[in-house]
Amino acid sequence: MARTVQSRFRHGYCKHNPRKMVKTWAEKEMRNLIRIHQSGILCPEPVFLRSHVLVMDFIGTDGWPAPLLKDCDLSDSKARELYLQCIHMVRTLYHTCKLIHADLSEFNMLYHEGRVYVIDVSQSVEHDHPHALEFLRKDCTNITDFFRKKGVCTLTMKELFNFVTDVTITDDNIDAYLDHVMEMSVNRTQDDITEQQKIDDEVFKNAFIPRTLDEVIDFERDFSKAQTGKTDHILYQTVTGLKADLTGAQQKPVLLESKTDLSEAHTDLTEPDKSVVDSDEEESDSDNESDDSNKAALSLRPRDESPNSKKERKQKVKEEQREKRKNKIPKHVKKKKEKMGKSGKKS
């Protein structure tokens, strides 16, 4: 897997032999499927490859193939659930598999047993592809457009791009980050999006974004502008992991850094509902108790623990945390219900 998915093309390929081309694409699909399946993303498991024939798992029930996502009639709650799964999938593809799908849409995802399976990964590229970030922005646009039509309060394309590429988002803060950005999306309506913001989004889709600092054309010029607060047209901070003013590495997501200040300002301006505060306190207490229990479970380990048993123990704790998150009501959903309740009382 050390070779890139594009390395077989470094000596060119035969354009006059369709069978050789099909074989090449089958090999590429096999490599990408292996990498994606090993990362835990739902996809057909590859079985074997012989010449231009690729055998993989069948996704379906009783011989009937699973439908494409575009052909499914989804409820509002299921659409929100699948949207979160999709954006997690794109981020895992980017950071764990080091791949960008490059053609991700409702036409290349299967809906099976309430989950989304990604297919058609032969055209997926690695980060060092010259058009990698263009493909990623296209994938983000396709996902946003599809789920927005389903009535989901989606992130903007730029917000989703930043979520996927932000290197400061970790397993410890990803839930807090998503709660914050989803809360922003719930409180934002289409009327709040100005024409200038729409133009800026279109510009962002087609703008050149350096993948590394080596690709930055004039860093000194950008640094000087950043010191004066002119960072609107500097687009590579999130991808490269730099601070907004380019003075060093960003240690924490920018949205989470400003979240405390925003919450304090909101508390000063509005009086919170007591029932909501009580429920949040109970929820935080339960979360703290679960964190303490998880820490205790991690600390109570045998002195001569083998690597395999350590891995199994950590996996068990992660699964318990995942099950608790499934039953937890997101904060942005709570606030949306609270907002709807207040508007109903006023009317």
* Poorest-pLDDT segment among 25-29, 216-220, 318-322: 318-322
What is the reported pLDDT for 187? 84
| Residues 276/338, Cβ–Cβ less than 8 Å | yes
pLDDT above 70: residue 109: yes
Q: Which own/partner pairs from 280-284 qualify as long-range (CB within 8 Å, at least 24 positions apart)?
A: 280/331, 283/328
Q: For residues 54-68, b (16+ Cβ closer than 10 Å) or e, as one string?
A: bebeebeeeeeebee
What is the reported pLDDT for 119? 94
Compute the average pLDDT of residues 56-66: 92
pLDDT above 50: residue 4: no
What is the reported pLDDT for 9? 44
What is the reported pLDDT for 234? 87
CA distance 337 to 329: 11
Compute the average pLDDT of residues 205-220: 89
pLDDT-derived band at 206, boundaries 50, 70, 90: confident
pLDDT above 70: residue 23: yes
pLDDT above 70: residue 236: yes
What is the reported pLDDT for 140? 94
pLDDT digits (tens, 9 = 90+) for 28-53: 999 999 999 999 999 999 999 998 88
pLDDT-derived band at 271, boundaries 50, 70, 90: very low
Residue-averaged pLDDT of the chain: 80
pLDDT above 70: residue 257: yes
Give DSSP secondary structure letters for 192-205.
GS-HHHHHHHHHHH
Name, of 226-240, 247-261, 279-293, 296-310, the range with top average pLDDT.
226-240
Compute the average pLDDT of residues 164-183: 91
pLDDT above 80: residue 62: yes
Residues catalogued as catalytic? 103, 120
What is the reported pLDDT for 116? 96
pLDDT-derived band at 259, boundaries 50, 70, 90: low
CA distance 95 to 127: 10
pLDDT above 50: residue 168: yes
Compute the average pLDDT of residues 182-211: 81
pLDDT above 90: residue 5: no
What is the reported pLDDT for 125? 94
SS3 letters across 213-267: HHHCCCHHHHHHHHHCCCCCCCCCHHHHCECCCCCCECCCCHHHHHHHHHHHHHH
Give DSSP secondary structure letters for 19-72.
HHHHHHHHHHHHHHHHHHHHTT---PPEEEEETTEEEE---EETTEEPPBGGG-
pLDDT above 50: residue 202: yes
At 68, give phi and psi (nearest 5°).
Answer: -70, 150
At 118, give phi and psi (nearest 5°).
Answer: -90, 140
Of 194 and 156, which is predicted with more confidence? 156
Compute the average pLDDT of residues 135-162: 93
What is the reported pLDDT for 10? 47
pLDDT-derived band at 107, boundaries 50, 70, 90: very high
pLDDT digits (tens, 9 = 90+) for 317-338: 777 777 777 677 777 777 777 7
